[in-house]
Amino acid sequence: MPELPEVETVRRGLVPAMEGAHFTKVEAHRPDLRWPLPKNFAGHLQGQEVVSLGRRGKYLLADLSSQEVLIMHLGMSGTFRVRHGCAETPIGEFHHPRAKPGTHDHVVFHMSNGATITFSDPRRFGFMKLIARDKLEDEPSLRALGPEPLGNAFDGAMLAQACAGKKTSLKAALSDQHVVAGLGNIYVCEALYRAHLSPKRGASTLATRTGHPQPRADALVQAIRDVLEEALRAGGTTLRNHRLTDGELGYFQHAFRVYDREGQPCMTPGCGGTVRRIVQSGRSTFYCPQCQR
């Protein structure tokens, strides 16, 4: 599932094909993804240059020469492929590697540097949206976004503050993009596991006393940073080795310590617990009741 490390890996894969190039032709094979595409989406993009390709949380943001921003979201199953000459590189083959090629290719960018970029998304939870750059702050999905978990501003005090007064579980709080931007179900489970904190713990219990050191929140922030950075390194390594071309996910999925390991022994040295699966807010949570408190 595309969470921050996957979206960032996709961004890095797209940069050489997009930055500094302009759209020579754009194909929209259907009028909508999750939502209707902007009116005259294809025609409007043609001729514009991608000045830079950034990311905020799970959103890709292409800064265009028209003073607009192309917002792209991968949803659950969105992937890009980049073709340059004969070689085609999948960038972020997350979920449906064996799906019939072509059937869910909804948007194709032809770039002035010769690259062809294809956006494929079987479940169409992803979307693309155009917005004026000076209106970016008004964009509801971006405006209220929490801090970047790998940014300098994100620390234990900030996380504890964001969780203070919340009535919900720590799992739900970390999944809330307003608390911290970019975590999804998998990395929330993994981070809580590494920090030895129970997903069922009340979010407000993260804080100890305001204005005092926050050991639990600090440990959680460190765990979040660690797991995201490891996943990012794995994504990069996989891309460099071109191991994605066999359609195998690679990335980080083989390094999960708790996600999707129901019934298997806890990997924490000396713990001896068994990984359990519970459902929170309609989503699977994997955790070790023994060492996560």
Residues marked as catalytic: 2-3, 58, 283
Q: Any idea what DSSP says for residue 164? A: T
Binding test (CB under 7 A) with DNA, winner from 39, 152, 167, 263 = 167
Q: How many residues interact with DNA (rule CB under 7 A)? A: 37
Q: In whole angstroms, how close is the CB of 283 to DNA at the nearest point?
A: 5
Would you count residue 281 as binding DNA (CB under 7 A)? yes
CA distance 190 to 285: 10
Would you count residue 175 as binding DNA (CB under 7 A)? yes
Name which of 140 and 270 has its Cβ closer to DNA.
Answer: 140
Please report, for residues 67, 69, 139, 145, the alpha-carbon distance to residue 134 in angstroms, rounded to integers and kept in the order given. Answer: 8, 9, 10, 17
Binding test (CB under 7 A) with DNA, winner from 16, 19, 66, 76 = 76
Helix (H) or strand (E) holding 289: none
Would you count residue 196 as binding DNA (CB under 7 A)? no
Please name the amino acid found at residue 92: G
Instruction: Answer for the pair 148, 154: CB distance below 8 angstroms, yes or no.
Output: yes
Instruction: Answer for the pair 247, 101: CB distance below 8 angstroms, yes or no.
Output: no
Name which of 101 and 213 has its Cβ closer to DNA.
Answer: 101
Binding test (CB under 7 A) with DNA, winner from 44, 73, 81, 194 = 73
Q: In whole angstroms, how close is the CB of 165 to DNA at the nearest point?
A: 7
Strand partners, 124: none
Would you count residue 2 as binding DNA (CB under 7 A)? yes
Would you count residue 201 as binding DNA (CB under 7 A)? no
Give the angle 278-279-282 at the CA atoms, nearest 5°. 170
Would you count residue 66 as binding DNA (CB under 7 A)? no
Helix axes 185-194, 215-240, angle to 10 degrees: 120
Question: What part of residues 19-38 is at the interface with DNA (CB under 7 A)?
Answer: 34
